Structure 1
Amino acid sequence: MRLLLVEDSGRLSEALAHILKKHGYIVETALDGETGFTLATTEAYDILVLDRMLPQRDGLDIVKTVRKLKIDTPILLLTAKDSTQDRIDGLDAGADDYLVKPFSTDELLARLRALARRQTKPWEEDTLEAANLLLDPLKCEVIKDNKLIKLTLKESLLLELLMRNYGIVISKERIWEKVWGLQTTSEVANVDLYIHYLRKKLETTCIKTVRGVGYYLINE
């Protein structure tokens, strides 16, 4: 489950991201509204979690604009504003739920589970197909030549990124950023290692190397 967390408090953002990752979410974070809006409208997420009061671009404005763009990703607004009118404004703008600070971790997780249930889709819509591979990123499973292959989470994220950018060279730095995250303590060299793991597990040569640049996916 991919989640975008837009929260301007670095301390709170880091703490929430840590908790969410422990509960199986793939979390990307932004500390200002403009960055959050760009990510929300250019990347694919299962849930958006937005603070209402953000620098550069207000959370309520992000919700309104995202909905005008016909993006139907479930949105949970986090806010210190707890009046009835504030809740009405958030929901009328297009948010699916509204959580007032301070909140308990258990309540946040419960609300996210509820939003995730509304977002459940059939298998056909959840899978990706490219280079004779059929990937279910939610289950970390890929089918090749009618054979089911289990992947680790990182392997699945890496393959998903390559499949979504079929035929396009992706730099190692961008792969590292997208799969491991900006706040990771891992090194870019892990990209080469996991490409090796994928090639070996899939028994394929469809993942090509552009020396000194990065990798791309193409038919064998």
Structure 2
Amino acid sequence: MRILLIEDDKALCCSLSLLLEQQGFSVTVCNDGEEGLFYLMEDCHDLVLLDRMLPSLDGMEVLRRARQAHCTVPILFLTALGSLDERITGLDCGADDYIVKPFAFEELMARIRCICRRPQRLHETDALTFGDLTFDVQQSLLTCGGKSCTLSKREGALLALFFNNPQQTLPRATILGRVWGPESEIEEGNLDNYIHFIRRRLKSVGSTVQLKTARGIGYRLEATP
């Protein structure tokens, strides 16, 4: 299960992500509201743990924008704002649950298990399209005409980023931060390897879409006539 943790308290992020990973979860961490919304809209996570008080964009606005865009991933508020009115407002705006800091990790796990037991909702944004391609995010399946191929998790996250930012040159640092995480320490050569993998995938399904290199800057996804 993939969890997105949007929280500006870095000490809490460190301890909480470690505990969650010990429970078998894959955790992506970000400390900024705008960045968190970007990750959230990629729809590559199964659950979001969201703080209300965040820099650049507060948690309520992150929640509103996500729901307005028909993003249906479950969102659980983790916040010190625990009055009755604040809890009601958060739930009415589209949160799936609301837990007040400080909380016991055992209670958080119980609430996560509760959310996992709920029937999965249909996602309107599962299928991303660009040019002659369709990418099923949930199945990580790339299709062009009658041909298709399955992508790895990392390949899928990378391709989804380009699908959501078509014909825009994405700097290498931005790609690394969005796909591998802002705190990740990886060699830039890893990105080049995955770009090569994506290009092979595009070729294997016979797509006219190309992943172009912007020399010295990054990459962009283009649809050719």
Q: What is the deviation of 1:106?
A: 3.0
Aligned length: 206
Q: What is the deviation of 1:190?
A: 1.4
Question: What TM-score do you get using the length of structure 2 for normalisation?
Answer: 0.73
Q: Secondary structure of the equivalent of 1:216?
A: strand
Q: Is the 8 A contact 1:40 1:48 kept in 2?
A: no
Q: Is the 8 A contact 1:6 1:49 kept in 2?
A: yes
Cα distance 1:199–1:64, how it changes in 2: closer, same or farther (>3 A)?
A: closer
User: Which residues of 2 match residues 164-175 of structure 1 at below 5 A?
Assistant: 164-175=164-175
Q: Structure 1: give runs of 5+ residues left out of the alignment.
A: none
Q: Name the structure 1 match of 2:219.
A: 215
Q: Secondary structure of the equivalent of 2:125?
A: helix
Q: Name the structure 2 match of 1:27.
A: 28
Q: Secondary structure of the equivalent of 2:105?
A: coil
Cα distance 1:24–1:157, how it changes in 2: closer, same or farther (>3 A)?
A: farther
Matched, 1:192 2:192: yes
Q: Name the structure 1 match of 2:144.
A: 144
The one-letter amino acid paired with 1:211 is R
Question: What TM-score do you get using the length of structure 1 for normalisation?
Answer: 0.75
Q: Is the 8 A contact 1:4 1:45 kept in 2?
A: no
Deviations 1:36-77 (A, max 9, x none): 2x235555165542235x4768x9x63278438963654312
Q: What is the deviation of 1:9?
A: 3.1
Matched, 1:133 2:137: no
Q: Name the structure 1 match of 2:109.
A: 106
Percent identity among equivalent residues?
A: 28
Q: Secondary structure of the equivalent of 1:49?
A: strand
Matched, 1:7 2:7: yes
Aligned equivalents of 2:127, 2:27: Cα separation in 1: 17
Q: What is the deviation of 1:185?
A: 2.1
Q: What is the deviation of 1:169?
A: 0.9
Cα distance 1:55–1:201, how it changes in 2: closer, same or farther (>3 A)?
A: closer
Q: Is the 8 A contact 2:202 2:210 kept in 1?
A: no
Matched, 1:163 2:163: yes
Aligned equivalents of 1:194, 1:22: Cα separation in 2: 28
Aligned equivalents of 1:185, 1:68: Cα separation in 2: 30
Q: Structure 2: give runs of 5+ residues left out of the alignment.
A: none
What stretches of structure 1 move > 6 A for 4+ residues in a row?
none
Aligned equivalents of 1:81, 1:70: Cα separation in 2: 21
Matched, 1:206 2:210: yes
Matched, 1:67 2:71: no
Q: What is the deviation of 1:92?
A: 2.9
What is the root-mean-square deviation of aligned Cα atoms in Å? Answer: 3.4
Cα distance 1:131–1:12, how it changes in 2: closer, same or farther (>3 A)?
A: same
Matched, 1:77 2:81: no
The one-letter amino acid paired with 1:67 is R
Q: Is the 8 A contact 1:128 1:163 kept in 2?
A: yes
Q: What is the deviation of 1:160?
A: 0.9
Cα distance 1:92–1:126, how it changes in 2: closer, same or farther (>3 A)?
A: same
Q: Is the 8 A contact 1:87 1:98 kept in 2?
A: no
